[in-house]
Amino acid sequence: MSRENRSKTIGRPFRVAAWRSSPCGFETARKHTRAREDQRGQMRILLVGHGKMGQLVGELAGQYDCEVAGVIDPVSPLHGGGPDADRWTGVEVAIDFSTAASVPTNAAVLARRGICLVVGTTGWSRHEVALRQVIADAGVGIVVAPNFSTGVVLFEAIVAQAAKLFAPQADFGAFLHEAHHAAKKDAPSGTALLLKHAMEHAGFSRPIDVSSARAGFIPGTHTVGFDGPAETITLTHAARDRTAFARGALAAARWIQGKQGWYTMHDVLGVG
C-alpha cells in the first residue's frame, strides 16, 4: 500500500483483508476446560486485530480446542457481504483486541452474521447502549471485559469489600494507580475505571484519586490504597505477562458459544 493510500485509512475500523490459516493445533488442553470442550468439539474463531494480544490468543487457541479461521486486518471498514462473507462459514466466536474506533462497527457486522463476540478492547463505552441493542436484535452473545485475567476479577471483589469497610471511616481517603506499557493508548485503563466503579458501588462516596503511568513493557499493574492520618493500606494486582489475558479471552470464547445476551467475566467465572 502506498503512503498516500495508507494515510487515508488511518483511524478506520477493520476490514477482512487477509485471511491466514493457523497451525494452532495443540493436543494438550487445560484440565479444567477439557471435559466440556470434548463434548462440544472444536470451535472456529476469528481474531479481530492481530497485535501482541491477538497473536498470543492465536498461539494458545489450540489448547482450548479452537481453530483460528482467519484474522481481520486493521486497514479499512469491515463488510458483512460480498467476497468476504463466505469465509465466515462455521465461525462461532470472534475475539476482539483491536481499537476503540473499530469495535462498534465491526461488532455490529459480526453480530448480524450470527457470530458471538469476546471484546477486550477498551475506550468505546459511549457506544455501549447502541451495541447492546444490536446484540439483542441479533440474538447472539457477547462477553465484554477490560481485563480477562481471573486474578483481576477476584481482585475487583476484594477491592469492593475493602471499600465497603473503609466507607464509614471518614479519616481515610482512597487512591488508585495503574501502570501499563508505553504503547497503551487509553488512560486511565479500563480496569482502573472498573475498580473505581466497584469502590463507588460498594458505598465509598468520597473522592478517589486516579493516576496513570505509561512506560516500558509493563503488562498491567493496579494498586488501590486507603490512607489515614497515620497509616496506609494498599492492595495490588500485577500481571507478569499477557498469557493471563489471552487464556481468559479463550475461556470466555468457549463459554459464550451458543449463548445469547450481554455478559462479563463475572458471569464466565461465576463470581457474584
pLDDT at 165 over 60: yes
Q: What is the pLDDT of residues 110-128, one digit of tens each?
A: 999 999 999 998 889 899 9
pLDDT at 134 over 80: yes
- Quote the pLDDT of residue 7: 41
Residues annotated as part of the active site: 180, 184
| CA–CA gap between residue 211 and residue 195 (Å, rounded) | 13
pLDDT interval class at 170 (50, 70, 90): very high
Q: Which residues contact 124 (CB under 8 A, 6 or more apart)?
A: 100, 101, 103, 104
Give start and end residues of each alpha helix (H) in the chain.
3-9, 31-40, 52-60, 103-112, 128-138, 150-166, 190-201, 243-256, 265-269
Looking at residues 11-36, what average pLDDT do you find?
39
| CA–CA gap between residue 228 and residue 173 (Å, rounded) | 7
Three-state SS string across 14-27, please?
A: CECCCCCCCCCCCC
Backbone angles phi, psi at 72, to 5 degrees: -90, 120
| CA–CA gap between residue 244 and residue 181 (Å, rounded) | 16
pLDDT at 6 over 70: no
pLDDT interval class at 86 (50, 70, 90): low
DSSP label of 230: S
- Quote the pLDDT of residue 88: 72
Segment among 16-20, 100-104, 231-235 with least mean pLDDT: 16-20
To 5 degrees, how large is the angle CA 95–CA 141–CA 24?
A: 30
What are the structural domains of the chain?
A: 3-148+243-269 (3.40.50.720), 150-238 (3.30.360.10)
Q: What is the pLDDT of residues 183-213, one digit of tens each?
A: 998 899 999 999 999 999 999 999 999 999 9
- Quote the pLDDT of residue 34: 47
CA dihedral 60, 63, 68, 71 (to 10 degrees): -10
- Quote the pLDDT of residue 78: 56
DSSP label of 264: -
Burial group, residue 39, by CB count within 10 angstroms (0-12, 13-18, 19+): exposed
What's CA 142's distance to the chain center, in Å? 11
Strand partners, 67: 44
Query: Among 100, 105, 95, 99, which residue's Cα sits nearest to residue 142?
Result: 95
